[in-house]
Amino acid sequence: MKDWEELRLEVEGCSKCNLHKTRTKVVFGVGDTKARLMIVGEAPGYYEDKKGEPFVGAAGKLLDELLESIGLDRGRIYISNVLKCRPPNNRDPLPEEIAMCSPYLMEQISYIKPMIIVTLGNHSTHLLANVDLGMTKIHGQVFNKENYLVFPTFHPAACLYHPEWMKLLKRDFLKFLNF
């Protein structure tokens, strides 16, 4: 297994898919590499692409508020995405992009060794929990994987567009603290 810096450099130089042509910055991830809790989103958005850090736009502000509401500091967890480069116009990740980029996420997980991975949205949930159901059916459930638990919930950006899901997201955030 590569060390953390080797992995970061490999991701920053990646040109496996066409997303490298339009990215401003690679969004590798941030936080504590020895964290018990890892949060995995889908792909960087506009602001993440500019800053090179996950969850810094409106969805990131909401994520920070949710973490604060349960007494967690962003610096005590690790936050990443399935894709490390922004898809044009914030479109959903394509299956081939996920296939090319997800090995990087899996290496991050192997290095960090979290006990719990909270997946935000369908793409990270489908990849890590290996389920093909929509979020309204599986949010808040726990999937026991070989080396960690996967806890799916709504992506904060989705809740900005569907405020009726906000109560469910808040409830899910309270729930995963019990694991």
Q: What is the pTM of this model?
A: 0.95
Per-residue pLDDT tens digits for 26-38: 999 999 999 999 9
Taking the C-alpha atoms of residue 64 and residue 74, their distance in angstroms, rounded to an integer, is 7
Cβ contact 135:122 at 8 Å: yes
What local confidence, expressed as pLDDT, does residue 2 receive? 80
What local confidence, expressed as pLDDT, does residue 140 receive? 93
DSSP state of 34: T
Number of domains making up the chain: 1
What local confidence, expressed as pLDDT, does residue 127 receive? 96
Domain that holds residue 82: 4-176
Per-residue pLDDT tens digits for 126-160: 999 999 888 989 999 999 999 999 999 999 999 99
Is pLDDT at 104 greater than 90 in this prediction? yes
Token digits of residue 160 = 């900005």
Q: Is 173 left (phi over 0), alpha (psi -120 to 50) or beta?
A: alpha
What local confidence, expressed as pLDDT, does residue 179 receive? 65
Task: Match 């059916």 to its residue by tokens.
Answer: 137
Backbone angles phi and psi of 118, in degrees to 5: -90, 120
CATH number of the domain where residue 123 is located: 3.40.470.10
H runs (alpha helix) in 2-155:
4-12, 46-51, 58-69, 95-112, 122-129, 135-138
Token digits of residue 99 = 């296939």
